[in-house]
Structure 1
Amino acid sequence: MDFSIKACDWSKGGEGPFLTGKSDCIVVGVFEAQTLSGAAFAIDAATGGLISRIVKAGDMDGKAGSTLFLPEVSGIGASRVLLVGLGKQDAFGQKAYGDAAKAAWRAILGTKIAQVTFALAQLPIKDRSADWAVRTAILALRELTYRFTQMKSKPEPAPRALRRVVFSVDAGDEKAVKLAAKQGAAIANGMDLTRDLGNLPGNVCTPTYLANTAKKLARDWKLKVEVLGDRQIEALKMGAFLAVTKGSVEPPQFIVLQYQGGAAKAAPVVLVGKGITFDTGGISLKPGEGMDEMKYDMCGAGSVLGTIRAIAEMGLKLNVVGIIPTCENMPAGNATKPGDIVTSMAGLTIEVLNTDAEGRLILCDALTYAARFKPAAVVDIATLTGACIIALGHHNSGLFSKDDALAGELLDASREAGDPAWRLPLDDEYQDQLKSNFADLANIGGRPAGSVTAACFLSRFTDAYPWAHLDIAGTAWKSGAAKGATGRPVPLLTQFLIDRAGQ
C-alpha cells in the first residue's frame, strides 16, 4: 500500500489537486453540534452546501464513530465523500481520533475504493500533532488489513481494494509528517512480523524457526547475528535455561541479533525477549483447556524481532542488541521436576518449585549474558504471568523497574505510541516471598502479587545496568472470536528507541 503526503490549506478552497484532482474518495470529519470547518467547510462550499444540508437533515449528526458516504458528488474531482462523525470538539483527543480513523478505514475497506484522500490528520487533536495523527492512521489501517492465511490450503483473497492513501496536511507539518509516515509503515511491518510469528503453530514456529527468522533479518537488513546451540549454552553454564529445555526434543537456541546504527563504541540498548515456542507447563502441566494458546508464549521474542526489523527499516541512529533465549517447555522422563535445584549463569542456585514458571528461568540467564554488552539500558519483554492479566486485564502491559528515569521513558513512549503500559511496584519487601530453604532463591513466590514476585526474581540478575521488565501476558494476543497475536508492544518499544535516538 502506498502512502503519500501533500500540503493543503483548506481555508483557501482546497489548493492543488484536492478538490479538482481525481480520487475515489475524500475523507472529512464532522464535529457534533459544531459549524463545519477545514476540509468539510471547503467541500461544502464547492458542492453548493451539500454537507450543510445533510447535517441539517440529520443524516450526519457528528456522533463519534458514525460514517456516511456521499456518492456521485458533483463540484469536486473525487467521486465520493466519506463523512466521519468526530463527537464533541472539546473532547477530541487521542482516543477519539483513533476511533474516527478506524471507523473511516472500516467504511472504506468495505468498498472497492482504491485511492483515498485523508483529511482527518489536519483536525485539532488535543495534545497531539499532525505527524502523530498520520502515523496513528497508518497503524490503524494496517491493523485492519492484516490477515494470517499462511496455514490455509486455500487462502481467502484479500477483501480490500485500497492501494493508495494521500494524507492532507498543513504546509508547516509536511516534513515531520513524511518522517512519521515512514515510521508508521516500518512499525506496521514490524508488527506484522511479530503477529505472523505468534500466529504460527508450535510445530512450525520452533526455536530453530525463530533462529532462522533472525538470520533472514540479518541478511535483509545487514545486521549481525549469532545463534548459540546446546553445547555453547552449556559452555556458558546457563543451567536455568537448560533446565527448561530438558524435556523437549527441539533443540534450544540462544539468538543474539545486533543492529549497529550509532557510533561503534556507543553503548547499546538491549532488548531481551522470552521465546518459549510452546509451553505445556512441563511437569507442572497446565490444564488442557486453552493450552493451544501457549504457542503465543514466544511473543516477547517475536516483539524483539519485529522491533529490530522496524528500526532497521527506519535507519535509526543508535545501537540495539536483541537477545532471545528460545526453547519449548515439555513434560518428559528427563524433564526438570518440582523441587529440583539448578544453577544459573550468574552462579545463583534456584529451587524450581513450579516448572510452569519457566520464562523467568530462561530470561535470568539471558539477562546475565546481556551484561557483556555494557548496555545503556536493558528491557526484557515476556508473556510472563497470568497474575498480570488479573491485575491489569488486556489493555495495559505491566511495567516494572527500579530505575525511575528508564520507567519514565517507557511510559512516555507507551502514551505516544498508543500502546499503554502501567507501572507496578518492585519493592524489596516482595523479595522475601522468593526465599528458599534449600537454594539461593525459589522460582515462584506464591499466589499473592505473582507478577511482582516474577519481576523481583528477574531483578536479582540485573545489578550491572539500568533495567526494566514488560509483562505482556495480557496484551500480546487476543482470545475468542478475535483470537490472534496483536503485535504489541512493538509500537511502545519502537517509540522508546526513536526517543533514545532523538529522531
Structure 2
Amino acid sequence: FDKYKTKKEDDEKNGIELFEIIEIDSSKANDINAGIERGKVIGDAVNMARNLADEPACEVTPTKLAEVAKSISGIECKIYEKDELERMGMSAFLAVAQGSTQPPKFIHITYKPQGETRKKLAVVGKGLTFDSGGLDIKPANSMRTMKEDMSGAAATLGIMKAVSQIKPDVEVHGIIAACENMPSGKAYKPGDIIRAMNGKTIEIDNTDAEGRVTLADALHYAAQLNTDEIVDLATLTGAVVVALGQYASGIMGTNKELVDALKTSAEKGGERFWEMPFYDDFKDDIKSDVADIKNAGSKGAGSSTAGMFLREFVGNKNWAHIDIAGTAYIDKEIKELTKGATGAGVRAILNYILSI
C-alpha cells in the first residue's frame, strides 16, 4: 500500500500485460471465461477490502464507510444516523461511539436476487474505524495498527460489491455498525451498565472490549431480519492471535453444518478457519453480579468467551462468528500475502455464497 508515497518516474511497476489459458477442448471455453470473470470480481472485492483497511483512520471514518456503501451499484443501502439509532434502542453501539467526535453510522446493504431465492444470509462486519481502547486505553505500540479494526466492515463491503456483480440466487444483507472508540469526557466508562437493543443489560468490565458491544446491537438487528443464517467477521480478540498467530482465523457458532461449510469455503479460497472450543461452560465467564452479562471474561479462552458474549444477541438463528484479529492485517509476507491488510474472510464468504 503506497498510495501516499510521492511517486518517482522510475517507481512504475510493470503489471501483467497478457494472460493466456490454453485448452484443447473448445467446449470448456465458456466455463473457463466465466471462471476468469468471476475470479476478477472476487479479486477486486479482496483488494477493495485491503485498500479500505490500509487507509489511515483520518481518511476512513464511519462517514467514509457509509459513502463507500452508498457507492456500490445494484444494491439497496440504508444509513441510520445517531438520532434514528437512539429511537431504535441501539444503546450498546452508541455507548462505544459516544467518546468520539466522529458521528456513528449504522449501515445496512441489501442484495435481492431477481428470481428464486435459495437462502437468505446476513454478513455482519465489525466497523471500528479506530480503536484507542477508550478509557482502558491501549499502550502506544498496541494502538499503531488500530486503523485496521474495521477489517470486518471492509470485508463486508467487498463481499457486497462482488455479490452485486455476480448476482447469486442468495439474498445477502451486509450490516456494519461503524464508529470510533476514543477516550474523552463523554466516553463510556468501566463499570457502566448499558441496555442493548435486545433488552439485555451489559456491565462494561473493559472499554477495550468494545467490538463485541457494537456487534451486540448489529447482531440483534440482523437476527430481526428474515434471514436463514448470520455470519460475522470481526477483529475481535488478541486471544485468537495468541492461539493461531497470523496463519488462521478462529471460527465458532451455533450450527455445526454452517461452521463446516465455511471452513470448506475458506480452504477453497486459500484461507484457513480453525474451529475454536465453544462450550456452554464459557457462559459462566461472562456472568455479571450487577447485569445480565459483562463484556469481558476471565483471562483464559478469551476468543471463546467473546464468542459466547455474541451468542447472547443472535436469538435462535444459525450463526457463525469468525475472529480475523490475527489474519486481517499481517506484519510479514505469508505465502501469496504481502504485509498489511489481507482482505481476510472475503474469499471464504463469497465461496460459501456461491456454493449455496
Matched residue SS, 1:334 = coil
Query: C-alpha displacement at 1:449, in angstroms?
Result: 0.1
Task: Sort the Cα spacing of 1:228 and 1:161 in 2 relative to 1 into closer, same or farther, 3 A.
Answer: closer
TM-superposed deviation, 1:225: 0.2
Describe the superposition over 1:112-161 as per-residue Cα deviations: whole angstroms up to 9, x where unpaired. Answer: xxxxxxxxxxxxxxxxxxxxxxxxxxxxxxxxxxxx33323437744114
Which residue in 2 is equivalent to 1:355? 207
Specify the alignment match of 2:101 in structure 1: 249
Q: Tell me the secondary structure at the aligned position of residue 354 of structure 2.
A: helix
What is the aligned counterpart of 1:402 among 254, 263, 270? 254
Amino acid at match of 1:434: I
Count of residue pairs brought into register by the alignment:
350
Give the corresponding residue for 1:273.
125
In structure 1, C-alpha distance between the alignment counterparts of 2:279 and 2:227, rounded to whole Å: 24
TM-aligned CA distance change 1:266 to 1:165, over 3 Å: closer
Letter in 2 for 1:343: R
Question: Residue 422 of structure 1 aligns to a residue in which SS?
Answer: strand
Per-residue CA deviations over 1:164-203 (Å, capped at 9, x if unaligned) read 2011235264333222211110111001110110010000
Which amino acid counterpart does residue 169 of structure 1 have in structure 2? Answer: E
Say whether the 8 Å CA contact 2:125–2:234 is kept in structure 1.
Answer: yes
C-alpha contact 1:268 1:373 (8 A) present in aligned 2: no
* Contact preservation (8 Å) 1:263, 1:318: no
The aligned residue for residue 159 of structure 2 is 307
Which of 139, 145, 162 is the aligned partner of 1:287?
139
**Structure 1 residues 230 and 264, CA, compared in 2 at 3 Å: closer, same or farther?**
farther
1:259-299 superposed Cα distances (whole Å, 9 cap, x missing partner): 12254776521000000000000001001014120000000
- Cα RMSD between the aligned structures? 1.6
- Evaluate the alpha carbon distance shift between residue 248 and residue 438 of structure 1 in structure 2; reply closer, same or farther with a 3 A threshold: same
Structure 1 residue 485 and structure 2 residue 326: aligned? no
Counterpart in the other structure of 1:166: 20
Matched, 1:204 2:59: yes
* Change in CA separation of 1:188 and 1:318 when aligned onto 2, cut-off 3 Å: same
What is the match of residue 327 of structure 1?
Answer: 179
Q: Deviations over 1:333-366 (max 9, x none)?
A: 1111111110000000000000000000000101
Is structure 2 residue 88 aligned with structure 1 residue 236?
yes
Structure 2 runs not aligned, ≥5 long: none
Q: Distance in 1 between matches of 2:156 and 2:100?
A: 24
Say yes or no: does 1:150 pair with 2:3: yes
Map of 1:420 onto structure 2 = 272
Please give the alpha-carbon distance, in whole angstroms, between the structure 2 residues aligned to 1:426 and 1:312: 34
State the one-letter code of the partner of 2:42.
I
AA at the equivalent of 1:335: A
Counterpart selection for 2:293 from 431, 441, 451: 441
The residue type equivalent to 1:214 in the other structure is: A
User: In the TM superposition, what whole-angstrom CA distance separates every residue of 1:436-492 from its partner, at most 9, and x where no partner exists?
Assistant: 000000001121000000000000111231100000001101125854101111110
The one of 315, 327, 344 equivalent to 2:196 is 344
Output the CA distance in 2 between the equivalents of 1:462 and 1:468: 10
State whether residues 220 and 315 of structure 2, in contact with CA within 8 Å, keep that contact through their aligned partners in structure 1.
Answer: no
User: Match of 1:469?
Assistant: 321
Structure 1 regions of 5+ residues with no counterpart? Answer: 1-147
Superposition TM-score, scaled by structure 1 size: 0.67
Matched, 1:195 2:47: no
Give the letter for the 1:189 counterpart.
D
The DSSP-based 3-state class of the residue aligned with 1:169 is coil
Indicate how the Cα distance of structure 1 residues 155 and 380 shifts in structure 2: closer, same or farther if over 3 A, else same. Answer: farther
Distance 1:496 1:321 in 2: 14
Identity percentage of aligned residues: 39
* 2:116–2:169 CA contact under 8 A, matched in 1: no
Q: Is the CA contact (8 Å cut-off) linking 1:207 and 1:326 kept in structure 2?
A: yes
2:352 corresponds in structure 1 to 496
2:19 aligned counterpart, secondary structure: strand
1:125 alignment counterpart: none
